[in-house]
Every structure is written in C-alpha cells, then in structure tokens.
Amino acid sequence: MGGPSTNSLNKIILRMLSSLRLLITLGDVAGIGPEIVVRAWPELCKNSIPIVVGDGGILAKVTQLLKREYILREIGHPQEATGDPQTLEWIQGSSQDLSQVRFGEVQACAGQAAYDFLCRAIDLTLSKQASGIVTAPLHKEGLHAAGLSYPGHTEILADRTGTKEFAMVLYGDGIAVAHVTLHMALRDVFSKLSTRNILEKIELLEGLLPQLLDRKPRLAVAALNPHASDGGLFGDEEATLIAPAVQMAQDRGIHVQGPIPADTLFLRAHQGEFDGIVAMYHDEGHIAMKLRCGFRCVNISAGLPIVRTSVAHGTAYNLAGQGIASEESLIAAYRCAEKLARRTR
C-alpha cells in the first residue's frame, strides 16, 4: 500500500500547527503589556491560536486607545478559541478590579492580577488545555505591593510547577545564555555560586538548544572574575567552582569549554564559535545579549514541564498608555514558543 501523498502530509502538518493553542498573559496592566498584545494580535494568529489570559476591561480600554476594531470575545476554555485575527479572544484571569488602574504607576491590584494571570495560564497548560505560555512583562514592585515575595516570572513558574532545577535563558539570533544566579544583589552572587549549580545550568542549556537549533549545541561557560582571575590574582572561583563543573559536563559528553573571560567569550559566540553560554550572574548575560539582539531577544524558561517564553524587556512604565511600545519582542517570543511547542508535540 502506498503512503499518503506529499499534499496530504502537508495538509496534516498544517492542521497540527494551526491547532496549537498558546496562552498570552497580560502581565502588569499598568505597563505596556496589554498594548503590545493588542498591536501584535494579527501577526500572532498566522500559524497558531493565541488566547489572552487577562482582563476584558483592560483589553477594551487598550483596543480603543490603539484604534483597533477587534471583536472582543470572552471564552471559558482554550478549545473554544478560533484563531480569527479580527477577534481578540480572552479568558478572565483574575478577580481583581482593574477599572481604575493608572498607566505607569505601581499598584497592588495590577501586581496581584499579573500573578493571577500567570497562575491561571500555568494551570491550564499543566492540564494540557494549552500548548504553552507567552508572558508580557510584570513589575517586581507591583508584585511586592500585592504582598507577593517573588522576584519575577521565573520563580513563580518554578514554584507553581514544582520545578527544582530551572534557568532563565535569553535567546536571540542563534545564541542562548543561561544564568546561574538571577535576581539578587551583586554582593550575594558569590555565596550563591556552586559547582553543582553551574553544572545544572550547563545541562539545562544542553537540553534546550537542540529544540531550537536542530543539532547538538556548542557551549561555553563564562568566567566570574576579570580575565578569568589571571591564575588566581583576582579570585579563585574559576579554579575552585567553574572549571570542575565544566570538567564534569565534558565527562558526561557535553560539548562545552570554559571558564572563558566574558569580554572575549561573547565576541567569540557572536562570531559563530558557540551556540550557548552559561553566565554567572544576571547582567553578565543580559547586557551582552540585549546589545546584540535588541527586541529580537526572547526570554525562555528552561527546565519546566511546560513551554514558557517571554519578552526580554520590562513594563516600560514611561511608555505605557501612549500607544507607541514595540511589539517586536512579543512576536519573537511567540514564534519561539510555537517552535518549542511543536517540538514537544
């Protein structure tokens, strides 16, 4: 018996792709999150079915602000979504009254709602009612104003999904950076670094990148101190913590080098020598990646049992309510989520 024709296979593949349902959380509604979602909507509908987890009143307000003539349709379940680019479909994600929210200001109700939106999206995705989550930015001060002690999305996701080993990864233009430490004071970084934590991030990056690159990645680990400590002149973390982690990863068959001074490592990656970098702290990875990729940069949560990507920028309170915020990073994050969700399937 002959197999299905090429045309038949193409139709099957297109049906599979278009049936992907991805949840988009509005984040802190006092920021630019709602605006970039509304601006990006037609583009998001091209290859899958987006569904906002948020608040209908906010969506109506921002749709009017941007002069978009969408039909706003509340649904109760992701399977009810149609993917119509002219119909902005949303699920109510919080019981907070957001009718009096002011753009550009820290407000407890907006912080609580951002948390609620994310938790609702996580629960829907864990129960297989959606294929992944794309998050608009939240504001850490807004979370704290609501009495929530989380420093950001990544930690909420890990807590809600029961994940112990996870990493924030910035990805753009074929390079990914995982961070060993994240949202903490710089003075606390040294006490939080360990060989085990560094090895964990190497392995998480090794597991993630084949889904994006379609091949085994070439990894490198950044040094902590200037010039990788110059043989111990500026600290010994390279010799005592980082090098042992690299050796253990190599012994497990991972293609990884390091520690390499960050000022040369990122240049070498930019020139095509490495696909992934393990950075020791937040700004060591973020500054280089955002300079390189700009709004093409995507935030990916590695190690979770679900797909989650995000914009790689903040709430931009200074731009909120003006209708001028760029949706480019949201579209990039959404496309990345589509790719990861398809691979998961």
Do 57 and 118 have their domain in common? yes
Do 148 and 207 have their domain in common? no
Cα gap 196→95, rounded to integer Å: 41
Is residue 30 a contact partner of residue 103, using CB atoms and an 8 Å limit? yes
Q: What is the pLDDT of residue 152?
A: 87
Residue 79 amino acid letter = Q
Do 157 and 170 have their domain in common? no
Do 53 and 115 have their domain in common? yes
Residue 299 lies in a domain: no
- Average pLDDT estimate for 186-214: 95
Do 244 and 334 have their domain in common? no
Check pLDDT > 60 for residue 16: no
Do 129 and 11 have their domain in common? yes
Is residue 152 a contact partner of residue 139, using CB atoms and an 8 Å limit? no
Residue 152 lies in a domain: yes
Cα gap 8→5, rounded to integer Å: 5
Domain that holds residue 154: 1-163+304-345
- For residue 73, the cross-strand partners are 89
Do 206 and 132 have their domain in common? no
- Average pLDDT estimate for 296-312: 95
- CB within 8 A of 6, min separation 6: which ones? none
Q: What angle do CA 21, 293, 66 make, to 5 degrees?
A: 55
Do 27 and 99 have their domain in common? yes
Q: What is the pTM of this model?
A: 0.89
Do 178 and 285 have their domain in common? yes
Count of domains for the chain:
2
- Average pLDDT estimate for 28-55: 97
Do 41 and 137 have their domain in common? yes
Domain holding 217: CATH number?
3.40.718.10
Percentage, residues of the chain above pLDDT 70: 94
Find where tokens 């929210």 sit: 101
Check pLDDT > 50 for residue 60: yes
pLDDT band at 343 (very low <50, low <70, confident <90, very high): confident
Do 142 and 246 have their domain in common? no
- Average pLDDT estimate for 256-271: 96
